Amino acid sequence: MCGIVGYIGKRQAAPILLEGLHRLEYRGYDSAGIAIGGKGKLRVAKRKGRVRELDTLQPQKFKGTFGIAHTRWATHGEPSDRNAHPHCDGSGRYAVVHNGIVENAAALRAQLTDRGCIFTSDTDTEVFAHLIALMDDGSPLESVVGAALGRIVGAYGLAVVDAERPDTLVVARNGSPLVLGIGDGEMFFASDPAALVRHTTSVVHLDDGEIAAVRADGYETRTLDGATTVKTPSTIPWKDEAFEKGEYTHYMRKEIAEQPDAVRRTLGGRLDTRFQTTHLGGLQLGARDLLDVRRVKILGCGAAYLAGAVGAHLIETLARIPAHAEPASEFRYRNAVVERDTLYIAVSQSGETFDTLAAVQEIKRKGGRILGIVNVVGSTIARECGQGIYLHAGPEVAVVSTKTFTCSAVAMALLAIHLGRLRDLSVASGARLVRALQVLPDHIAAILAREPEIAQLAEAFAGAEHAFYVGRAAGHAIAAEGALKLKEVSYLHAEAYPASELKHGPLALISLQTPSVVVLPRDDLFAKNISTVEEIKARGGPVIAITHPGEAPTTFDRSFEIPALEPELDPLLLNIPLQLLAYHVALQRGTNIDQPRNLAKSVTVE
Ligand code: AGP
């Protein structure tokens, strides 16, 4: 998704901004550009394609100590050199980079064209540059930009540079993240802290409706109405090295391998072996508040939603509270009933997913109680929720979620045990689950150590264009996550079905060329799942079972067995081989594993 980075200080801006663009590459984009100010002029370079293609225009040679840069993910107008950001006014004095969508762009474009502006792109963003040029009355740049934003309907994270005001850059936020980075006699900003950590970990998150004047020696923030706001800097808890690929060929593989440590951090200080429960310091809801909870609704998108589906099963099983997960992107549009005795939970790795944020805001507006399960500290969803459970999984760079899916599900387990132990979950059951969580990272490590076996399973997909992923109850959420991983990174068509649903339609598609991956825990639904396996085999479909050791009344074409831990937590372990399976199928097919086509790491637009 689009990325912004900016710099003002004493150093040459271009190398800093280009390095920042490389840091934003993981988010997904189709073009990149940069504008550097110096000696009363702006120098702009932009290009369709990767940042390395922008590098061929040699923007690193642009001299100047302030500038802005951008990676674009097309919304208005095809990916092309002319639609890449920055966009300038007709004179080339002002340049703008923008994340988001200007909803009234067509009307503004018509008005500006009538006033003689000549547009050189198909983007909505270009209207900003012309508006600012027309509205500049010599006031401070932040006032001019603020006035121009008054004409805009839509969402934005925005940065503006004026060649003739070398001491100030202006950024503004409404619905799309922007973070200021505080340096020593220099300032940075970005839409993602990943672009800042090499230079500073001291950051200030802008809120919606805020505008900031950024100067080398500091910043001032205000609302669009002109009221000064006071911000408190916070610290990014990640080191620059955490963003490196290290010995791994792909970030996805690295992040899969990091899971034992990531899970240890999610669990850190949260297991209470005295009362055999969990301790969740980020919750502002006390025992009495939590006892009043009659229903739980979990919201997220993509893998975060599916981690929520695992969590819903855990909460319903362990706490006996009706719990349900729903895609946040659906919830926000359907005028949902928000009840005071429902606990709402937003799950998000980035904490910036627009649909999830909109769902959180809708729930809050209707008076609902919400907590966040979020990875990025200080992110918008985390701040909007105001309470919750941080994953502490470390940065996730690959577009596909792996370690944060697992850590979100672990955070859900912590919450489920907490809610359960306030109700009918016994001390003995609490102890059993707390013990299992203590050894969970080691069990994950043991599965990862058997990667060559899983790589062999991937051979079952040779010649396949379609696959089924099948599971029951929590196993279905794991199957759905396995299918999501496979389609994202291998581009194979993968469908997840509840095991019981196959005979109601999808069996018609079973063939020798359609492998079915069956999530098959040895639990009280094992016999039912075996019937499903028989149904598939009877129609000639190859079956790959992800299961526990033990006699099975049927033989699988291929299988991967992992030791059972505890039935409630086993789905978390059954997921690990599916991540590696997707990775190895993608490796065999030679796809772009870390940046799959058409996908962005963090979907910050509608
Ligand atoms: C999953 O592999 C993807 N990364 C995607 O589905 C992701 O989970 C979704 O876009 C939500 O992102 P979030 O966790 O940052 O909110």
Q: What is the pLDDT of residues 429-478, one digit of tens each?
A: 999 999 999 999 999 999 999 999 999 999 988 889 999 999 998 899 99
Mean pLDDT, residues 589-599 taken together: 89
| Mean pLDDT, residues 11-31 | 91
The sign one gets for the Cα dihedral 510, 302, 546, 550 is negative
Q: What is the mean pLDDT of residues 200-218?
A: 96
Alpha-carbon distance values, 62 to 15, 24, 65, 114 (Å): 9, 21, 10, 34
Q: If you write DSSP's letter for every residue of 63-95 in order, what string do you get?
A: --SEEEEEEE--SSS-SSTTTSSPEE-TTS-EE
The arithmetic mean of pLDDT across residues 106-120, rounded, is 95
Question: Does residue 1 have a pLDDT over 80?
Answer: no
CATH 3.40.50.10490 maps onto the chain at: 245-449, 451-593
* Element spanning 414, H or E: helix 403-421
Q: How far, in Å, from the CA of 519 to the mean position of ligand 1?
A: 22
Alpha carbon of 210 to ligand 1 centroid (Å): 26
Give the residue, out of 401, 402, 583, with the most ligand 1 atoms within 8 A of its beta carbon, to mutate for a pocket test. 401
**Domain 451-593 is classified in which CATH homologous superfamily?**
Glucose-6-phosphate isomerase like protein; domain 1 (3.40.50.10490)
On the question of pLDDT at 605 being above 80, the answer is no
CATH class of 245-449: alpha beta
Q: Is 69 left (phi over 0), alpha (psi -120 to 50) or beta?
A: beta
Considering only CA atoms, which of 515, 479, 517 is closest in space to residue 498? 479
pLDDT tier at 526, thresholds 50, 70, 90: very high
Q: Whose CA is nearest to atom 16 of ligand 1?
A: 348
pLDDT at position 552 is 79
**pTM of the entire predicted model:** 0.89
List the residue whose alpha carbon is closest to atom 8 of ligand 1.
Answer: 303
Q: Is 301 a catalytic residue?
A: no
pLDDT at residue 503 in the model: 85
Q: Relative to the CA of 488, which ligand 1 atom is closest?
A: 2
Mean pLDDT in residue range 167-180: 94
Q: Above 80 in pLDDT, residue 28? A: no
Contacts (Cβ under 8 Å, ≥6 apart) of 416: 311, 314, 315, 317, 318, 319
Q: Is the pLDDT of residue 596 over 90?
A: no
> Parallel, antiparallel, or unpaired: how do β-strands 369-374 and 342-348 relate?
parallel
Judged against a pLDDT cut of 80, whether residue 158 lies above it is answered with: yes
Cβ-proximal residues to 7 (8 Å cutoff; 6+ apart), any chain: 13, 16, 17, 20, 65, 66, 67, 186, 187, 188
Is pLDDT of 76 > 80? Answer: no
The separation between CA 371 and the C-alpha centre of its own chain, rounded to angstroms, equals: 17
* Tens of pLDDT, residues 245-258: 899 999 999 999 99
Q: Whose CA is nearest to atom 6 of ligand 1?
A: 302
Percentage of the residues of the chain whose pLDDT score is greater than 90: 85
Secondary structure of residue 356 in the 3-state scheme: helix
For ligand 1, atom 7: residue with the closest CA: 302
Report pLDDT for 599: 84
Alpha carbons 427 and 434: distance in angstroms, whole number: 10
Q: Is the pLDDT score of 485 beyond 80?
A: yes
Would the CB of 353 count as within 6 Å of ligand 1?
A: yes
Please tell me the distance between residue 312's alpha carbon and the centre of ligand 1 in angstroms. Answer: 18
Active-site residue flag, 2: yes
Start and end residues for every CATH 3.60.20.10 domain found in the chain: 3-241
pLDDT reading at 537 higher than 90: yes
The mean pLDDT value for 500-525 works out to 91
Residue 67 pairs with which residues in a beta bridge? 7, 36
Which is more confident, 309 or 596?
309
Is the pLDDT score of 278 beyond 80? yes
Ligand 1 contacts CB of residue 547 (under 6 A): no
CATH architecture assigned to 3-241: 4-Layer Sandwich (3.60)
Query: So what's the pLDDT on residue 462?
Result: 83
Ramachandran assignment for 417, one of left (phi > 0), alpha (psi -120 to 50 degrees), beta (any other): alpha
User: From atom 5 of ligand 1, which residue's Cα is the shortest distance away?
Assistant: 302
Q: Is 471 helix (H, G, I), strand (E, B) or coil?
A: strand
Distance 602 CA to ligand 1 centre (A): 7
Give the pLDDT confidence score for residue 544 in this predicted structure: 96
CB of 302 shorter than 6 A to ligand 1: yes
Query: Which of 2, 88, 117, 407 is an active site residue?
Result: 2
pLDDT at 604: 75
- The mean pLDDT of 93-110, rounded to a whole number, is 94
- Distance (Å) from CA 375 to ligand 1 centroid: 11
- pLDDT band (50, 70, 90) for residue 362: very high
